[in-house]
Amino acid sequence: MRVFCCWIVLATATMAWAQNEPCLAGTQDPGCGITVTTNPPLTTEENVFWVPNQITVEVPARLHATRVVVLSGPTGTGVADQFKPFVETKHYQKDGANMRFKVEVKSCPGSDNAFNVGIYSPRFPYPLSVLIQPFECKPQAGR
C-alpha cells in the first residue's frame, strides 16, 4: 500500500512539473530558453549555410540535456522520417543556468537543405526539436 501511495505522489508531481515546463509547448516558446546559433551565421537574405561552421546549442540546465544531435534532411511536408543523424555531441560547458553544446559541421550534408537539432534529456520521452531551414550549403573557400 505504501509503494502504491508513493507511486501516486510521484506520478502527480511529474504531471505537475510537465504542465509547468514551457518547452513542452514548443522550443520556439520564449520561456523554453533554448537557443541555436551558427558561426558564421546563417544569412537570412541569401539563406546560405557556410561550412566549416560551428552550431552552438544553449539549453537551460533545468532540462538536464545529455546529448545534442544535428540531423539533416530535405525541406517540405511529410519528410520528417527522411532526416538522418549528421553530427552529435555529449560534451557541454556549464554557463550559469545553461548548458552549452557545440558541434562542428565540416562539410555540406549532400543534397539536404535543412537541419533538425534534437536535444535529448532523460526528463522527456522524446527529443526536443529545433528546425533550421531552408538553406543552401556552400564551402567558405568560395565565399
What residues contact residue 39 under an 8 Å CB cut-off, 6+ apart?
A: 53, 54, 56
C-alpha closest to that of 49 among 122, 126, 124, 140:
140
pLDDT at 6: 56
**CATH number reported for the structural domain that contains residue 14 in this entry:** 2.60.40.10
pLDDT at 16: 44
**Domain count of the fold of the chain:** 1
pLDDT at 15: 45
Long-range contacts of 91-98 (CB under 8 A, 24+ apart): 92/59, 92/65, 92/68, 94/61, 95/58, 97/60, 97/61, 97/62, 98/33, 98/58, 98/59, 98/60, 98/61
Scanning the structure block, which residue is given the C-alpha cell 546563417?
A: 42
| Least confident stretch, 13-17, 63-67, 109-113, 131-135 | 13-17
Over residues 92-118, the mean pLDDT reads: 91
β-partners of residue 37 are 56
pLDDT at 51: 92
Domain ranges, residue 61: 2-142
pLDDT in tens, 66-98: 999 999 888 878 777 788 999 999 999 998 999
pLDDT at 44: 72
